[in-house]
Chains A and B, each alone.
Chain A
Amino acid sequence: NAGVMQNPRHLVRRRGQEARLRCSPVKGHSHVYWYRQLPEEGLKFMVYLQKENIIDESGMPKERFSAEFPKEGPSILRIQQVVRGDSAAYFCASSTGADWAEAFFGQGTRLTVV
């Protein structure tokens, strides 16, 4: 693993609370992807960001979900007013952004909404 750090590893929230997931990419990587994986399902694209820009958010639910990747600090995936259906593993990956470049994943944040 090339060092993508996600925290927290596990997060429990009650329905209606906010969940904030952090992702620090590999040093030197300026491209970040967020994916969601529901139990027994594949990875689903959510959002693709470069520093200070959202490039593609076509996989993000229209409401309650937002993402940012500021000039300084980690990328943040924010889920407001969480519902049980938001329970999933959220993976972040980073890349240099070059066409040929592979992406490296963090260990994920497992969100449980109770």
Chain B
Amino acid sequence: RKEVEQDPGPFNVPEGATVAFNCTYSNSASQSFFWYRQDCRKEPKLLMSVYSSGNEDGRFTAQLNRASQYISLLIRDSKLSDSATYLCVVKASSGSARQLTFGSGTQLTVLP
């Protein structure tokens, strides 16, 4: 089983739609959680951190369920510029090692 699993998609949605991505992680010692986005042939960029209480940044809402080891990202009112690959990232502490583990990503295409 992969440490971080995501539905690879692709998700093709019309402009203005609401879309949700899910992510599960296997390491119960995971401490920190993030969503990154990666545009084609570019570096990953931090979209938002994910907090236990859930958090919102504009059109983006992230949720964390530690009991189920599940993270979600909701995008409302999708824009063409939201088209990208969304990466779920988990940070676990193992002794002195705090490795970032990436999911394979979910591809989103927002259509005009």
**Chain B interface residues toward A at CB < 8 A:** 31-32, 34, 41-46, 49, 87, 91, 93, 96-105
A105-B105 in contact (CB<8A): no
Interface string of A48-83 (1 = CB under 8 A from B): 100000011000000000000000000000000000
Report which of A33, A42, A97 forms a contact with B103, defined as CB distance below 8 A.
A42
Interface size class of A (residues with CB under 8 A): 20 to 34
What total count of A-B pairs have CB within 8 Å? 56
A93-B100 in contact (CB<8A): yes
B104-A42 in contact (CB<8A): yes
With known contacts A45-B102, A97-B98, A99-B31, A107–B49 Cβ distance under 8 A: no
Closest to B91 in A: A99
With known contacts A99-B91, A99-B98, A42–B105 Cβ distance under 8 A: yes
Bound: A105/B98 CA distance, A: 16
